Structures are given as C-alpha cells and as structure tokens.
Amino acid sequence: MRRGSIVRITIYGVIAGILASLVAVLVPWLPTSASEEMDRIEFTFWFTTVICIAVFAIVAAVIVYSVLKFRAHPDDDRDGPPIHGHTALEIYWTAIPAVLVTAISVVSAIVLAKNDDAGPNPLRIAVTAQQFAWKFEYPGDDPVTSGTLVLPLKESVKLTLRSLDVIHAFWIPEMGQKSDAVPGVETTLVLTPTRIGSYSLVCAELCGLGHALMRARVRVVERAEYEAFLAREAEGGGQDENDGEAVFASAGCGGCHAFEPAGTDAEVGPALDDVAARAEATGLAPDDFIRQSIVDPNALLASGYQPDVMPTTYESSLSDEQLDALVQYLGGNK
Ligand code: CUA
C-alpha cells in the first residue's frame, strides 16, 4: 500500500475516533457513582468503550477510504474484479476481536466476583418487596423495620431480598447493583456506599399497575447518624403499632392511594379521602368497610378499578394492632 493511502486512512481513523470519543465523554451515560461496586461497573464500562471506539475508528477509516478511493463512475455497469480473499487479513480480523472479547469477559468476571463479595462481616439488612412498596428490616438487639433504607458510609452491606407476591427488582442507579426479588427465593445484593446523600431505590421489573411508583428513599449517612436512626426507630417502634400514620407509610399505602392527611397523591387505587361516603353506599359501618377493603380488597371493589391489583396479603403482613390503627387513621378518627 502506498504511503499516501496509509496517511489518509490514519487521518480518517483519528477523526472517527475523536467523534466517537466526544459522544462517549460528553453524554452523561451513567449517573455519578455512589458505591464501590458502581466504580467497578464504571471501569468495565469504560474499558469496553475504549475498545469499541478503537475498533469503530479502524472500521470507519477503512470504509471511508474504500468508498472514496474505489467508487465507480456513475455509468460504469461492469462487475467488479473477482477477488478470492486474503488469508492473512482474515486471521487478523478473527484473532484480534477474539482477544478483545476475551479481555472484556475476564474483566467482567473479576468485577462480578468482587461485586458479589461482601467481605467477612457485612451489615445485613433484609429487604421485602411487595406490590408496590419496599420494607427494610435492620438487625440488632432491637430489630427495626422501616420504609426508608439508611446505609452507613463505606460499610459493606449485604441485602437479602424477598418478595411477597410477584417478581420485583432492586435498583439504586447510583450504586449500580441490581437484583430481582423473586417469590419463594432469597436473593442477595452487596453494596458499599461511598458518597453521603439521598438516593432513590426504584423497582426495575414491571410488577403491576403501581410499578412506576414503587420507590423508596435511600440515605447514606455517617455511622453515628445510622446508629441514631436505629435508636430513633427502635424507640418509636413501640408506638408504631398504634400509629396509623406510621403504618400507612411503612405498608406503602401511599404508593397507590391519594390520602390528604398523609400528603400522598398516587392514582393507582381509589383516593381514600371520601372513604366514609363510599362506606355509606355499601351500607357498612365505615370502620368495617375500611377493614374489609384492606384485608379482602377484591370483595368491595371501587367502581372503575380492576380486581387483583391491591395485594391481598395485608391481613397476614400487618399485626392486629397495626390493622386497627390503620382503620382508625383512614376513618379520620385519629
Ligand atoms: Cu415492583 Cu415494579
């Protein structure tokens, strides 16, 4: 090949490489990392991207060069010369991609193994997913349950995921790791937060009408603040049973229902503000109507709403005291 051709191919390659690099760097493809696991995922992402940009630049350069150099005259209808192939070239373009793909696999396998390794003594938090809310149980002498996920900074946390109904998926975009919560199976997920802040846990598996609203707040705090949170929740735990507002929040009712006293405005299920009026229409006492609607939602379906959207598990997942408190709260008696 003549020297002039090599120079031209090189120039095309550099231009293609710069354009592809700009697309890679200027577009914010990933959220800012907030965990060690996400740092490793980002490394894999950039490792792969750099290889892709190099391959793209070479391929684009050869295509542009060929199109310009070998283009036929518009009225040239002859067949091209029969070319048999080029054995050496074929060996190169098979061997080099094979090496690159193997390198990506090795890096990915190492990152996966490290991201699954919680170390010798991780903090363990049990996560329960249910249409359409998340619940977190913290360990300790006084076990604490909350609708907010609070994580101490720089500590390895092993989450165990359970689902009470259908398949959900645990995902905090800034922390990278994602895992399904599958009914009947306990899955796990390891996180090591590296940045103080507030994040959103989102459900990443289409799980029903309220899927888009199935979110929970995640806070990453210093160890001392984490301890304070646990102490506060443990103290409040005794009253929680009788505090309808707390039950409403921890059971995730606001994920689907608008209720003014709770400040929620979701529209998956009927609004709960006029519940007394609707009870009257059924001829039931308001408290009985509310209780039945919670434990057996399909029996007293509000018009315009589908059956089997609201979970039927609350009778077992709420204690009697919690159910009483919730009924009182929704009936406006507290
Ligand atoms: Cu739970 Cu989507």
Find the range with the poorest average confidence among 12-26, 80-94, 102-116, 308-322.
Answer: 308-322
Is pLDDT larger for residue 57 or for residue 244? 57
CA–centroid distance, 122 to ligand 1, in Å, is: 26
List pLDDT tens digits, range 257-300.
888 888 887 788 888 888 878 888 888 888 888 888 888 888 88
Is 61 within 8 Å of 16 (Cβ atoms)? yes
Atom of ligand 1 nearest to the CA of 167: 1
Alpha-helix runs per DSSP H in the chain: 3-26, 36-69, 87-115, 223-240, 244-250, 275-282, 286-295, 314-317, 320-330
Bridge partners (DSSP) of residue 133 are 130
CA–centroid distance, 278 to ligand 1, in Å, is: 29
List pLDDT tens digits, range 76-132.
888 888 888 889 999 999 999 999 999 999 999 999 999 999 989 999 999 999 988
For domain 123-234, give the CATH number. Answer: 2.60.40.420
CA–centroid distance, 237 to ligand 1, in Å, is: 27
Q: How confident is the model at residue 334 (pLDDT cuts 50, 70, 90)?
A: very low
From 217, 192, 36, select the one nearest 123 (Cα to Cα).
Answer: 192
* Protein residue with least CA distance to atom 1, ligand 1: 168
d(CA 55, CA 12): 13
CA–centroid distance, 174 to ligand 1, in Å, is: 18
d(CA 334, CA 328): 6
For domain 244-330, which CATH number applies: 3.10.50.40, 3.20.20.140, 3.40.50.300, 1.10.760.10?
A: 1.10.760.10
Q: Got the DSSP string for 118-173?
A: --SS-EEEEEEEETTEEEEEE-SSS-EEESSEEEETT--EEEEEEESSS-EEEE-G
Residue 213 per-residue DSSP state? G
Tell me, what's the pLDDT at 321?
84
Tell me, what's the pLDDT at 241?
61
Q: How confident is the model at residue 8 (pLDDT cuts 50, 70, 90)?
A: very high
Bridge partners (DSSP) of residue 183 are 163
Atom of ligand 1 nearest to the CA of 132: 1
Structure tokens at 59: 């391929």
d(CA 331, CA 18): 64
List pLDDT tens digits, range 232-268.
887 765 455 668 887 887 777 887 888 888 888 778 8
Q: Give this prediction's pTM.
A: 0.75
Measured from the Cβ of residue 110, the count of other Cβ atoms closer than 10 Å reads 13
User: If you average pLDDT over every residue of the chain, what do you get?
Assistant: 89
Report helix angle 275-282 to 286-295, nearest 10.
90
Tell me, what's the pLDDT at 21?
95
Does residue 221 register a pLDDT over 70?
Answer: yes
CA–centroid distance, 194 to ligand 1, in Å, is: 26
Is 22 within 8 Å of 164 (Cβ atoms)? no
Tell me, what's the pLDDT at 238?
47
- Mean pLDDT for 65-80 is 88
Q: Residue ranges of the domains in the chain? A: 3-70+85-115, 123-234, 244-330
For the chain, report the end-to-end CA distance as a whole number of angstroms.
Answer: 87
Pocket of ligand 1 (CB under 6 A): 132, 168, 203, 205-207, 211, 214
Express as a percent the part of the chain with pLDDT over 90. 52
Q: How many CA atoms lie within 13 A of 305 on its CB side?
A: 21
Q: How confident is the model at residue 194 (pLDDT cuts 50, 70, 90)?
A: very high
